[in-house]
């Protein structure tokens, strides 16, 4: 049997939960350097990923930056840089 006596399941959450950690990223405007919005991804976004902004505009990621976590923290900041058309 697998995971006998283990406190966590294969997906990292408590056994039976099936919960995955989602990625919370800040969507940044490549032209201005200003943040556009926050977005949650089910997994780490790829640099060629396409998605819709809250405005409904379809954008493609130019690059994805993963920063260093703050001291004592586990979550690393993630920025997805896009070039909106408008």
Query: What are the sequence ranges of the domains in the chain?
Result: 23-82
Q: What is the mean pLDDT of each run of 10 residues along the chain (86 residues)?
A: 48 51 92 95 90 94 94 93 88
Distance between CA atoms of residues 60 and 83, nearest Å: 8
Give the whole-angstrom CA distance, residue 53 versus residue 41: 13
């Amino acid at each position: 049997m697998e995971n006998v006596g283990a406190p966590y399941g294969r997906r990292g959450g408590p056994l039976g939960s099936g919960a995955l950690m989602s990625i919370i990223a800040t969507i940044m405007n490549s032209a201005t350097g200003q943040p556009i919005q926050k977005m949650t991804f089910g997994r780490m976004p790829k640099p060629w990923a396409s998605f819709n902004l809250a405005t409904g505009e379809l954008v493609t990621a130019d690059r994805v930056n993963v920063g260093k976590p703050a001291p004592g923290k586990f979550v690393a900041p993630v920025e997805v840089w896009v070039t909106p058309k408008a």
